Amino acid sequence: MENLYLHVPKFDELDYRQKILGQEDTMYYNKGYNLLIENYNNETGCIDFSKKYWEKWYAKWILEAKDRYYAYIVESNTGDFVGEVCFYYEEEEKLYRIGIVIESVHRGKGYCSNGLIKLADVAFNDFNIKRLRNVIPLDREYAIKGHKKAGFKEVSIEKNQAILDLSNEDYLGIKFI
């Protein structure tokens, strides 16, 4: 875990986000979900994050972020970005949802679980959040496994999706083991 850290990107570093959201091999898991955003490609799962989207996104996620957090996952030894993590408050459910994308060339190296632990550290220590949640389709077995390795517990299975939560109590328990 010490080989990673989180980095809130500067505006001129958003090219990495543009790169990974446009990679079919990275975003294939997102294919066919009919996301209700104009820049989503249902055929590939990719999201067009060209420069015309940067300013509005950066204001919402970085500059004006009160109930949300976004960062790149950085490999300490090389300084390379390997993915992204975020959390945001879901008003309807009254809880914080998370997101994680590991660039396809960096998958299978433990970055998912370690990145999630780093994200939990920020959520529970800096934002005083009580619980994080992710909802993952059951066919994404490696993603579910990575979340469980980071301490997330399966709360239920609904509509062919695993609902996984990590409480601050559970996080503190795994942190000091």
Residue 150, number of CB atoms within 10 A of its CB: 23
Say what the pLDDT of residue 34 is.
74
69: domain CATH number?
A: 3.40.630.30
The pTM of this model reads 0.92
Residue 42 in any domain: the answer is yes
Residue 164 in any domain: the answer is no
Residue 76 in any domain: the answer is yes
The mean pLDDT value for 69-77 works out to: 98
Are 119 and 85 within 8 A, CB to CB?
A: yes
Residue 32 confidence class, pLDDT cut points 50, 70, 90: confident
Segments forming the whole domain that contains residue 84: 4-130
Helices 141-149, 111-121: inter-axial angle, 10-degree rounding: 50
Say what the pLDDT of residue 12 is.
98
Please give the Cα distance from 16 to 9 (Å, whole number). Answer: 9
Say what the pLDDT of residue 65 is.
86
Q: Which residue has the higher pLDDT, 175 or 62?
A: 62
Structure confidence by residue, pLDDT tens digits, 107-158:
999 999 999 999 999 999 999 999 999 999 999 999 999 999 999 999 999 9
Residue 114 in any domain: the answer is yes
Pair of tokens at residue 51: 């420069």
Taking alpha carbons only, the member of 6, 43, 29 closest to residue 104 is 29
Residue 153 in any domain: the answer is no
Structure confidence by residue, pLDDT tens digits, 81-100:
999 999 999 999 999 999 99
Residue 164 has pLDDT above 50, yes or no: yes
Instruction: Give the chain's mean pLDDT.
Output: 93
Residue 63 in any domain: the answer is yes
Residue 78 in any domain: the answer is yes
Residue 55 in any domain: the answer is yes
Q: Which residue has the higher pLDDT, 24 or 176?
A: 24
